[in-house]
Chains A and B, each alone.
Chain A
Amino acid sequence: MAKGKSSASKGKGKGGRSAFSGLSVIASAVLLFMVALPTFITLTVGLLPSLVAFIFDRSPGRTMARCVFGLNFSGVAPYILEIWMQPAQTVSGATQAVFQPLALSIMYGAAGLGWLLYLAMPPIVANVLNLSAQRRVSELRKKQRGLIKTWGDSLIKEVDRSGN
């Protein structure tokens, strides 16, 4: 009962945190919209793939969305910096800069790379783990061969007997 209660409170806490971070994002977006509209427009258009990824990625930890967001943001960051460097930040300037094909290609391409990274990484890790397991198995087999060489067949018999 207590356990159920604690897990419920845990779930509630997690949901609360998520709602809080969602609210803080919306609040930040509203604040940004009110204070720096050109930056808001650039971020909204540039981070569109990340937004989509965050919406569709329901996996725990949202690793795919994080992957896409990381590289997507790397692609958007230069344009944000470019806007911030201009003496007068205007909506038209920002819109013009964002909707250029090269800019969109860089921003969305970077998001795509993030997605590719997300796809490519697990097989690489699996291969590494498999290789390490194989090496361990061969080490153990070598050790067993050594034991048999020292103790003879009686070792196998004893192992079989104790196993039975």
Chain B
Amino acid sequence: MAEQAEDQEQDVSNGAATEPVMDAPGGGAPAPAEPEETSENDEATISAGGKSVEIGNFRVFLDLRMPEFDMGHCKAYSADNLRRDEGSAFALVTDPVLPTRHDHMTFLTGMHMAGQIDLIDYETAYWPPFGRKTMVLFYEKPAGGRVLAKQTKKLPIDEHDIATVVVEPLMNAMQAFGEKGLAHRNIRADNLFFADPMHEKVVLGDCASAPPGYDQPAVYETASRMGADPAGRGSGSIADDFYALGMTLAELGIGRQPLKKLNDQEILELKLSKGSFQAIASLEKLPLVLIEPVRGLLCDDPEERWGLAELNAWLDGRRTKPVQSNTEKRAARSQNLAGRDYYTCRSLAQGIAKNWSTALAPLRDSTVEIWLRRGLGDNDRAKALSEAMRQLQWAGADKRSAEDVLVARSILILDPTGPVRFKGFASMVDGLGFMLSYDVQHGRGPQRFADVIVRDIPSFWFSRQEGYSPEVQRQQQLYKNLRYYIQQQSAGYGYERCLYATVRNQHCLSPMVEEEYVVEIADLLPALEKAAETASEESWPVDRHIAAFIATRLEDDVEGQLMAMQNPSDEVEYSRAIISMLAIVQWRHGPDNLQNLSHWVARLMEPAIKVFHSKARRERVETEIPKLAKRGNLVELYNLINDEQERRKDQSEFVEAVAEYSEAESEVFDLESSGPARMELAEKVGQQAAAFASTMIALLTVSALFLMHIF
């Protein structure tokens, strides 16, 4: 037990495990051990080759790195726009094992917005250094370069100019995002670029290449979202962007990242104990002119936090209402857990999450409940905790699981705005999908996510939210679907469906097409066509990932096909369902000619041919299949085995034949088993016939005698 507890603690407190790998091109490898070395090797190879690749309307030069435009974990390369002479572009190569943000890419593509770097286009393309396909974003090169250049220690912007150079354009960008119901979630000082050579305005860098908040240093995240793993920090709202803007202003004012000397855990504890602004102000020297906006923007209460109106007032030189620096209630006495004293609910929640096994005892013996009542005077939370404990008593045989649920619920009672935390898993509810994607693609597997959903922890999170929020309602609806999906075991459901349902830009993770980076359903069949060249004869072209991907991305309802796939032992229905799904995808999205895939499907159509009972029909279908496969049309192949009229005719004729056969069989049985009865009948009939014949002979004799005497 002690060992398990130690392991658990080690697991959850190992910050390295959850740190984003910022400088490693994923290349499909889960969390590379030596990212720097790999990167250098790649670059060396590329430089020696001096190659370029054509991607869409751009030519990207692999040997012309542009580190000044690297954004987060993504690397920038020089690129030429082949369609346009003016302007200059660069390519930002995303990590293929991290999902990109679909809504942001579609919103920003081709749009010019003050305060945001211009996203010209994006393409999925083969990237030689990774040896696989990935997403490449093409940005317009900002004319003034990066705001925080690594070489210089001088403040890039005068503190008095920050309002016009930074705040105004960023407000514009945030407003545009806000109007679309989106949050940038990548606002930080090192993601700012000067839009012009005169350094008069800045633009925000990329926000679409990674999960929201993934590239943000922890200090840029609110105390609520800091507790989550980087991939699970969630989409957030404009309020989170304002918080990040406050931290950006602080960094620009100080000239370096605030609280850089502290590790993430220390920053979080400091923020929880003092409040975000006090945490910065107590350890860093903020310029006087920035104190007011930084205080307002770093307010820990999102309701109190500055928004566009307050920032506009500040820009106009008007005074705004003062905000409370820390709204977190501090207890009169501490609650000790694993040798540490905690004074606030949220810090205790974080402590429980980090000491999962040892936290159970003070929860079970009501120490925490008493602390809430007497130390903090928070009867509501104490009551909720007592209710959670009462539910533990109703737990059935799986006591261990019920105890885990109690700990997870206790954390949510203590910190209802924080992430869902469960045995080392920590993700905001709006970041569950990205967290799952990260876990699956970095070797952790889907188990942690599945545990959270199966134990219904997010439901408790929803129940702890106060007031009405349409966003929370939307998430709740989405969560209901996730729970349904994860409870289903068959292909097309499970964690795979959750993954594609929650992350719109998640590429299909089927081993058959993973390296092809299939994000759009239209790209699935071409990828399968390629996979068909090397596919083994026994394998099916649709696995769990592809089924879930099609079910999520296809506009048509394929629930019928998924139902049929629930039973792989019924080969006929299983193969028909698979062929049907692929045929629908081809019918909807093309391409028209899929010869390899058609031949693959044709090989697997043998069970589907059994749908016909008539040998003649089967032979006809068997001779037709190679001809249609040659044409590469899955729809025709499907129609061949799914001719409803022909099938119905075949079925009714078959039923008739079965009846006829059975009838004949029973008649034969009757004939063969009725020997004694027939003998009995024969005797009876024979005797009657003999009597009749005898009588007739007598009559004939008498008649003949009479006639002879008469004539």
Contacts and interface: CB of A to CB of B under 8 A. Distances in A.
Interface of A: 59, 61, 63-64, 66-71, 73-74, 77-78, 81, 85, 114, 117-118, 120-130, 133, 136-137, 140-141, 143-144, 147-152, 154-155, 158-159, 162-163
A77 B701 contact: yes
B111 interface: no
Contact of A117 (B618, B658, B665, B690): B690
A131 B686 CA distance: 15
B613 interface: yes
B668 interface: yes
Given A117-B693, A147-B660, A126 B682 contact: yes
A77 to B, nearest CB: 5
A67 B683 CA distance: 14
B664 interface: yes
Nearest to A122: B686
Interface in B648-696: 654, 657-658, 660-662, 664-665, 667-668, 671-672, 674, 678-679, 681-691, 693-696
A61 B681 contact: no
Contacts of A149: 615
B614 interface: yes
Contacts of B664: 140-141, 143-144
Contacts of A151: 613-615, 654, 657
B106 to A, nearest CB: 52
B705 interface: yes
B468 to A, nearest CB: 58
A162 B690 contact: no
Given A144-B665, A152-B615, A159 B694 contact: no
A129 B660 contact: no
Given A67-B691, A67-B694, A158-B658, A125 B615 contact: no
Given A126-B686, A159-B661, A70 B678 contact: no
A122 B683 contact: yes
A98 B688 CA distance: 31
Interface of B: 610, 613-616, 618, 654, 657-658, 660-662, 664-665, 667-668, 671-672, 674, 678-679, 681-691, 693-698, 700-702, 705-706, 709
Given A77-B705, A133-B678, A158 B654 contact: yes
A85 B476 CA distance: 123
B694 A125 contact: no
11 contacts: A61-B687, A71-B698, A81-B706, A114-B694, A125-B683, A126-B679, A129-B678, A130-B678, A140-B664, A140-B665, A140-B668
A114 B700 CA distance: 15
B671 A71 contact: no
Contacts of A73: 698, 701-702
Contact of B697 (A61, A71, A148): A71
Contacts of B668: 137, 140-141
Contact of B685 (A69, A74, A117, A125): A125
Contacts of B691: 61, 63-64, 66-67, 70, 118
A94 B15 CA distance: 141
Contacts of B660: 143, 147
- Most chain A CB within a 10 A radius of its CB, from B610, B661, B672, B690: B690
Nearest to B695: A70
Contacts of B695: 66, 70
B615 A150 contact: yes
Contacts of B613: 151-152, 154-155, 158
A155 B694 contact: no
Contacts of B658: 155, 158-159, 162
In order of increasing CB-CB distance, the 9 nearest A-B pairs are A70-B694, A122-B686, A126-B682, A121-B690, A74-B701, A121-B686, A125-B686, A66-B691, A63-B687
Given A61-B691, A122-B683, A136 B671 contact: yes
